[in-house]
A and B are shown apart, each in its own frame.
Chain A
Amino acid sequence: MKALNKYFYIFKISLSNNLVYVSNFIARNMFFVFIVYVMLLLWQNIYSHQGNMIAGYTLNQMIWYLIITEMVTLSRSNVFTEVSEDVKKGQIAYLINKPYHYIFYCFSNSLGESGVKLTSNMIIGMIMGLVYVGPLMNLNLVHLPLILISLLLGMFLNFFIYINLALTAFWFEENTAFMWIYSKLVFTLGGMLIPIEMFPGWLEKVARYLPFAYVTYGPARLGVKFSLSEFFSIISFQVFYLTVFIFISIFVYRRGVKELNVNGG
């Protein structure tokens, strides 16, 4: 109990620490508004040629889908850069000598940052959706909490993949390539750019088994086309991959700390 309390308190304090940056986050929201506007123009054009349903999505659903995927990715914390730098510069030495688990310390800390970002992104996202294409079709407010759960799981999964990539800094001097590749995989196979139903059949099947789809596609799909059976299937995948990446990160961290080289300082 005391252990959980500890992490909850880290989250709380990180939340208040990040509130300082709120104006900075709002400025970043301008990018959010802009990118979704570009998508809107693009899809309006496509829908005007292809009829009002593509791969099972209407224009309204497509835009809301993209808003949700952007919401997840834009609300991610800076954990990759922070952890990589901490490892490379040896700052990590000052963070691991306390009675908590470093990985979960980072998680709670990130949650504070993501929490502030997500709140502002959600407000902007909703206003934008309403202005651009009107309220989301067939939305049942009862499903909202379930959608939120999936959205949070997607963000957690994103965090644990990022921290794994960041921890490679124990062995590699330069590891930003991993982050770059991963973010492009989420962009494509994760269905951030287009829903994976639009992929060729075989690729869609592959994508459904890969973790990337459960970062962005999963919650966005549930957001616009909720069904209980799909909810359980997506949640199961999310929980499965989340567990896998949590265990990998604990393992990688344990190996990494043994390798830790902190010169001078």
Chain B
Amino acid sequence: MSIITVNHLSKTFRVKTKEQGFRGSIKAIVTPNYKEVQAVKDLSLRVEEGEVLAFIGPNGAGKSTTIKMLTGILHPTMGEINVLGLDPIMDRKKLSFKIGTVFGQKSQLWFHLPPLDSFNLLGRIYEIEEGLLKKRITNLTELFEIADLMDTPVRKLSLGQRIRCEIAASLLHQPEIIFLDEPTIGLDVVVKQKIRDLIKTLNKEFKTTIFLTSHDAGDIEQLCKRAIIINHGQIVLNESVKNLKYNYMNQKIIDIKYTEPVVIENPELKVLKSKGYAIKIEVDSSKCDLDRIIAELMKLGKVVDITISDPPLEEIISGIYQEKAIGGDSLEGAK
């Protein structure tokens, strides 16, 4: 069952423009000029119950704008949105009881106060009965391993600790959908992994649907089954992460280490890095047989170590952007 349905959604902003220089400034006062910016163009998507969906795109692609429309903060210019059977604009308040939001760059905790105070406040705001609130706080603080941070003023927490508190705070009212906007931004590898594990647990144990935006390929690879890539306010790709990898990940990276320096002459292999005996090679597995390539490489010398890996998703995505951008341009050119 779809719990988010979006049909032909568009959002246009009116932005004041100004010609450069002092004259431009004067002109802007007398006859202000406006430019229409289309942040989201004719976007349609569906999210199923219990799904973990990645919503990705470069800066300014319209990710945040879309999330803000889905949560009732921004009014769409055109199109319709249905979240949990509600219209986010008409029923914003009703909807807010059923959804949770975490914006990685914006805190909902009170800066000078310990998180427990903010948790209690949110409990009141979401009208949670006192006994129940206490129980949920205990459960969440255990799950997120933040029980001993509960008495420390938020300003004294590290970013990783704070984000864990943020996510826990947004779960107090047990939302059916949680929107995570860049939840792992600025975190180190260990903390990132911890947050990812928590999101996974959340999805498994509470069946919470997760709508996630991120720049981090790791987030998407590890968490999501499906990814929607948008650029310039339009969907570029809407595919399962598995397919994404399969279709766009024919490139394999082979790291190989020999006991002595070797020279690679096969033109099918692209040498990325070579230190004589340690070589990094890129192979297009759709064009040549990996079996044969590896057998060939083995024959070159005595192999100490070999690893075969996929290139990072980030590169794949940027490849897709470029491909689509070129495709789009040539189409326009043809017209």
Contact = CB atoms under 8 A, between A and B. Distances in A.
B60 A264 contact: yes
Interface string A2-28: 100110011001001100100000000
B75 A260 contact: yes
Contact of B106 (A10, A13, A91, A258): A91
A78 interface: no
Contacts of B92: 97
Interface string B105-126: 1101011110001101100111
A247 interface: no
A123 B89 CA distance: 47
Interface string A73-114: 000000000000000000101101111100000000000000
A260 B124 contact: no
A119 interface: no
Contact of B124 (A5, A16, A258): A5
A96 B89 CA distance: 12
B74 A262 contact: yes
Nearest to B128: A2
Interface stretch (B63-71, B193-201, B203-211, B217-225): B63-71
Interface string A118-141: 000000000000000000000000
Interface stretch (B96-104, B227-235, B272-280): B96-104
A17 B110 CA distance: 7
B260 interface: no
B14 interface: yes
Contacts of A263: 13, 15, 37, 39
B93 interface: yes
Contacts of A5: 124
Contact of A96 (B16, B73, B97): B73
Nearest to A20: B112
Contacts of A16: 113, 117
B24 to A, nearest CB: 16
Interface string B58-91: 0110001100100111110000000000000000
Q: Most chain-B CB neighbours within 10 Å: which of A93, A96, A97, A260?
A: A97
Interface core residue of A96, A99, A260 (most chain B CB under 10 Å): A99
Contact of B96 (A2, A20, A99, A265): A99
B142 interface: no
Contacts of A99: 93, 96-97, 125-127
A227 interface: no
Nearest to B106: A94
Contacts of A2: 124, 127
A6 to B, nearest CB: 5
A260 B71 CA distance: 14
B68 A17 contact: no
Contacts of A93: 68, 73-74
B38 to A, nearest CB: 12
Given A13-B117, A261-B13, A6 B74 contact: no
B124 A6 contact: yes
Interface string A160-171: 000000000000
Of A16, A93, A258, the most chain B CB neighbours within 10 A belong to A93
Contact of B72 (A10, A97, A173): A97
Given A13-B110, A17-B112, A265-B64, A97 B124 contact: no
Nearest to A95: B108
B64 A264 contact: yes
Contacts of B103: 94
A93 B105 CA distance: 12
B185 to A, nearest CB: 12
A96 B126 CA distance: 13
Interface of B: 13-16, 37, 39, 59-60, 64-65, 68, 71-75, 92-93, 96-97, 101, 103, 105-106, 108, 110-113, 117-118, 120-121, 124-127
What 4 A-B pairs are tightest by C-beta distance, nearest first?
A: A9-B124, A20-B112, A94-B106, A99-B96
14 contacts: A2-B124, A5-B124, A6-B125, A17-B110, A17-B111, A94-B108, A97-B71, A98-B125, A99-B93, A258-B75, A262-B64, A262-B68, A263-B15, A264-B60
Interface of A: 2, 5-6, 9-10, 13, 16-17, 20, 91, 93-94, 96-100, 173, 257-258, 260-265
Given A10-B124, A97-B101, 14 more contacts: A5-B124, A9-B121, A9-B124, A13-B121, A17-B112, A94-B103, A94-B108, A97-B73, A99-B97, A100-B125, A257-B75, A260-B73, A262-B65, A263-B37
